[in-house]
Amino acid sequence: MRKPCILFALALFSIAHSPLAQVNIIPQPVEVKMPKIAGQFTITKNTPIVLDGSGLENSANFLNEYLQQVYGFTLKVSTKNAPGAIHLNYEKMEYALPGAYVMQVKKDQVYIAGDNEAGTFYGVQSLLQLLPVEKVAALKVPFVNIKDYPRFQYRGLMLDVGRHFFPVSFVKRYLDYIAMHKMNYFHWHLTEDQGWRIEIKKYPRLTEVGGYRNGTIIGRYPGKGNDNTRYGGFYTQEEVKEIVAYAAKRYITVIPEIEMPGHASAALTAFPNLGCTGGPYKVQETWGVFNDVFCAGNDSVFNFLQDVLDEVIPLFPAQYVHVGGDECPKESWKHCPKCQRRIKDLGLKDEHELQSYFIQRMEKYINGKGKTLIGWDEILEGGLAPKAVVMSWRGEKGGIEAAQQNHDVIMTPGSHVYLDHSQTKNEDSVTIGGYTTVQKVYSYEPIPKELNEEQAKHVLGAQGNVWTEYMKYPSKVEYMIFPRASALSEVLWSPKAQRNWPDFEKRLQQQFKRYDLWGTNYSKAYFDLKASITPAKDNNGVVLTLQTAAAAGEINYIPGKFSSAFPAYTAPIEVKHDIDINAILFVDGKQTSSLWQSFIITKATGKHVTIATPTADNRAGNGGTFGLVNGAKSDKGINSDEWLGWQGPDMEAVIDLGKAQSVSSVNVHILDQQPSWVYPPQHVEVFASADGSTYLSLGKTSEVVKEDNNMASITIPFNTTNARFIKVVAKNHGIISEGKPGSGSKAWLFVDEIGVN
Ligand code: ACM
Ligand code: ZN
């Protein structure tokens, strides 16, 4: 039988901003002052840009390109003074870092002056954010005085072009996004197991062979098959030069990353002699970490990598060269006579010291070229290369250790700035997983508490990492980075004391409109409708409350009727029968988020429930233990927050039905996703009790019925019994066996609902 279904509508309206509130700049400037007498300067196609100094053409050009793309006109640029102009200039300022600027918007002019070219450029970025978010011909800009300067010297975004390849046109757009957020580093991840993406003239096979793979897995790793479609591409050196020059005009430094000794499958496919086994190797078609790494015992490998760097380094004016160093399995080295010989000859302790030798040898070469090596935090293992800069990704630990050893560090912890993580619990595209909201990114503090003032100076800044396993097209990259990259820009630019989430939220509403203006894709997860499910007062059924974070800031709930089919949501909904509820959120009249909540009501729903062993902290369910009897199952597999999870322990739950009643079966809804270490229980046993202390076993089963999205159901039927307390024990799978992902670790047990009938 189909369940009944009701539809609800929620409406939010942005409050119209007063002229005073029109300054919505991200990242928030250090000082914004509105003059006592408010007013507006109007930019039209007749407004001149006056350059009051040399070297300001980049700023004028960017302004004109933006005006052309967004509003369809450009301004005349001149070095002669003219009335009613936008003046670009310089001023001396005494801040710790370069890039400061002042801006005044007055009746008769806009004045922007930086302490260097970049400073003026950043002032222009602020001006662009004072323009209307509608495509109009007369651009009214509010009178304002701004004084601004950056907090960190390294404000970066990375892009992985190995897993998926992006055209030059998109890389340029990415650079525009970086520039418009006053960020100044682009970390270009150019080589991977799945593709070598930069032309090396001495070794054309690197891109001819290593630039292409014969297929790609379909769906989330380990995937549902392979598309068997050749995929690849690479950047010619001419294209690299074009991109580096494009970046330079935006005051962005491009850091190339050439991965070693791991993530080398594509290079080894082209040159099998550089691996420990001699191959054959293949350009990888799936994701993960591979044992095919550069041999550390073979001098030809070092000669080869030096040749590669000989061509790469002259293309990039950056002080830094990134050599990766992450995720290098030591398996091949353990079995390789050349690697073992090297360990013996040099008196190294183990393969970790061999990796350290590898990086240190490359560092000498890179230093010899006047450049500084950057590596992921694994380069700490076995001893840090003397002058290396560490990029801390496995949390902050590596960054803290490196700073304590007086090395410069760039913070990129997975927990806060991996922009490949999901930013919603309702993700309907495939992502690598995780859950990192825009608010979490905004909360990131790059200086760890563990560092003293001197050590903290080694934290150059932070960077958002964009790994593209699950980003095949530019629109997906945009969807993943926005609005989180906007939040990160404020973390990196604005003073710590000024960090203010509600204020950011207010400005974010305008930023969403700006993305629309740019034609940029972005995630609307910020508006997500969330369901909170609580027991009904009499423990008979549940109450559904709908919420959205977007209620904060200058947005109000305005209940109202939108169509006869969608009554307005005005109060929490009582649920006593099986039902599907579909709610839609309207923001400014536009459908912005929706939520589908299905309820199956059993004798257990809404009742009191306890568990003997607590869940893991990060898998505590939606609404805690009550989630086991809230009538709501996950409808989308592992990403749902309905799951309660135990890593190792059994689940032992006791449900108090309130009074003795006739029961004849129990159903347990679980997740069976073994590649993610989540296993079905060995068996489930059900017990009954009249008093809550003496229990009798009613039945036990290990039979699992599979459902979609790796979910499954376990039903334990038994002879009809009268009982008040039902105890359900699900026996954890135990240790994961050899050869499986997570082998040797404790398996997870995930349960989201227990039904009693
Ligand atoms: C990394 O995410 N493997 C640096
Ligand atoms: Zn070897």
How many angstroms does the Cα of residue 393 sit away from the middle of ligand 1? 6
Helix (H), strand (E) at residue 547: strand 542-548
| b/e sequence 634-670, b meaning 16+ C-beta within 10 Å | beebbbbbbbbbbbebbbbbbbbbeeeeebebbbbbb
What is the DSSP-derived secondary structure letter of residue 18? P
How confident is the model over 374-385, as a mean pLDDT? 95
End-to-end CA distance of the chain: 17
Spatial CA neighbour of 232 closest among 182, 165, 282: 165
How many angstroms does the Cα of residue 297 sit away from the middle of ligand 2? 5
CA gap 650, 493 in Å, rounded? 47
How many angstroms does the Cα of residue 348 sit away from the middle of ligand 2? 15
pLDDT band at 337 (very low <50, low <70, confident <90, very high): very high
How confident is the model over 202-221, as a mean pLDDT? 97
Three-state secondary structure of 441-487: HHCCCCCCCCCCHHHHCCEEEEEEECCCCCCCCHHHHHHHHCCHHHH
CATH no., domain 608-756 = 2.60.120.1190
Q: For the chain, give the percent of residues with pLDDT over 70.
A: 95
Joined together, the tokens standing for residue 414 give: 């997975």
How confident is the model over 126-132, as a mean pLDDT? 98
pLDDT of residue 598 exceeding 90, the answer is: no
CA gap 628, 621 in Å, rounded? 8
For residue 414, which atom of ligand 1 is closest to its CA?
2
Which of left, alpha, beta for 90 (phi over 0: left; psi -120 to 50: alpha)? beta
pLDDT band at 536 (very low <50, low <70, confident <90, very high): very high
Spatial CA neighbour of 451 closest among 489, 495, 406: 406
CA gap 255, 69 in Å, rounded? 28
Spatial CA neighbour of 375 closest among 429, 320, 427: 320
CA gap 401, 205 in Å, rounded? 39
pLDDT of residue 684 exceeding 90, the answer is: yes
Say what the pLDDT of residue 148 is: 98
pLDDT band at 15 (very low <50, low <70, confident <90, very high): very low
Joined together, the tokens standing for residue 33 give: 């002052």
Helix (H), strand (E) at residue 513: helix 501-518
Spatial CA neighbour of 709 closest among 407, 328, 430: 430
CA gap 124, 370 in Å, rounded? 33
Ligand closest to CA 413: 1
What is the DSSP-derived secondary structure letter of residue 21? G
Take atom 2 of ligand 1 and give the residue whose Cα is closest: 393
pLDDT of residue 561 exceeding 50, the answer is: no
Ligand closest to CA 328: 1
For residue 467, which atom of ligand 1 is closest to its CA?
2
pTM for the full model? Answer: 0.87
Report the CATH fold assignment for 31-148. Answer: Chitobiase; domain 2 (3.30.379)
How many angstroms does the Cα of residue 375 sit away from the middle of ligand 1? 10
Joined together, the tokens standing for residue 106 give: 């007055």
Amino acid at residue number 333: W
Take atom 3 of ligand 1 and give the residue whose Cα is closest: 326
Say what the pLDDT of residue 554 is: 38
How many angstroms does the Cα of residue 467 sit away from the middle of ligand 1? 8
Mean pLDDT, the chain, whole residue set: 93
Question: Does the CB atom of residue 327 touch ligand 1 within 6 A?
Answer: yes
For residue 418, which atom of ligand 1 is closest to its CA?
2
Question: Does the CB atom of residue 376 touch ligand 1 within 6 A?
Answer: yes
pLDDT of residue 319 exceeding 90, the answer is: yes
Listed by start position, the domains of the chain span 31-148, 156-525, 529-593, 608-756
| Number of other CB atoms surrounding residue 735 within 10 Å | 13
pLDDT band at 564 (very low <50, low <70, confident <90, very high): very low
**Cβ(409)–Cβ(459) under 8 Å?**
yes
pLDDT band at 551 (very low <50, low <70, confident <90, very high): low
pLDDT band at 17 (very low <50, low <70, confident <90, very high): very low
In tens, the pLDDT along 499-518 reads 999 999 989 999 999 999 99
CA gap 726, 687 in Å, rounded? 6
How many angstroms does the Cα of residue 274 sit away from the middle of ligand 2? 8
pLDDT band at 8 (very low <50, low <70, confident <90, very high): low
In tens, the pLDDT along 346-368 reads 999 999 999 999 999 999 999 99
Pocket test for ligand 1, best of 376, 379, 416 (most atoms within 8 A of CB): 376
How many angstroms does the Cα of residue 275 sit away from the middle of ligand 2? 6
CA gap 54, 303 in Å, rounded? 44
CA gap 532, 425 in Å, rounded? 14
CA gap 294, 275 in Å, rounded? 5
Sign of torsion over alpha carbons 404, 407, 411, 415: negative
Backbone φ, ψ for residue 342 (5° rounding)? -60, -45
How confident is the model over 88-113, as a mean pLDDT? 97
Spatial CA neighbour of 615 closest among 420, 451, 749: 749
**Cβ(402)–Cβ(459) under 8 Å?**
no
Pocket test for ligand 1, best of 159, 255, 326 (most atoms within 8 A of CB): 326
How many angstroms does the Cα of residue 339 sit away from the middle of ligand 2? 4
pLDDT of residue 566 exceeding 80, the answer is: no
Pocket test for ligand 1, best of 391, 467, 468, 469 (most atoms within 8 A of CB): 467
Pocket test for ligand 1, best of 263, 393, 410 (most atoms within 8 A of CB): 393
For residue 324, which atom of ligand 1 is closest to its CA?
4
Q: Residue 266 to residues 124, 262, 622: CA-CA distances in angstroms?
A: 42, 11, 43
Beta-strand relationship, 644-647 and 320-324: unpaired
Strand partners, 581: 6, 597
Question: Does the CB atom of residue 393 touch ligand 1 within 6 A?
Answer: yes
Answer yes or no: 707 catalytic.
no
How confident is the model over 145-158, as a mean pLDDT? 98
| b/e sequence 509-534, b meaning 16+ C-beta within 10 Å | bbbbbbbebbebbbbbbbbbbebebe
How many angstroms does the Cα of residue 210 sit away from the middle of ligand 2? 20
Strand partners, 402: none
CA gap 435, 426 in Å, rounded? 10
pLDDT of residue 486 exceeding 90, the answer is: yes
In tens, the pLDDT along 394-426 reads 999 999 999 999 999 999 999 999 999 999 877
For residue 465, which atom of ligand 1 is closest to its CA?
2
**Cβ(557)–Cβ(12) under 8 Å?**
yes
Beta-strand relationship, 5-14 and 579-587: parallel
pLDDT of residue 1 exceeding 60, the answer is: no
How confident is the model over 691-715, as a mean pLDDT? 96
Ligand closest to CA 351: 2
Ligand closest to CA 333: 2
Helix (H), strand (E) at residue 416: helix 414-417
Question: Does the CB atom of residue 326 touch ligand 1 within 6 A?
Answer: yes
Say what the pLDDT of residue 550 is: 65
CA gap 477, 419 in Å, rounded? 9
Beta-strand relationship, 31-33 and 195-196: unpaired
Strand partners, 217: 226
Ligand closest to CA 331: 2
Strand, helix or coil for residue 269: helix
Spatial CA neighbour of 481 closest among 276, 139, 129, 174: 174
Report the CATH fold assignment for 156-525. Answer: TIM Barrel (3.20.20)
Q: Which of the following is catalytic: 57, 91, 327, 707? A: 327
**Cβ(515)–Cβ(138) under 8 Å?**
no
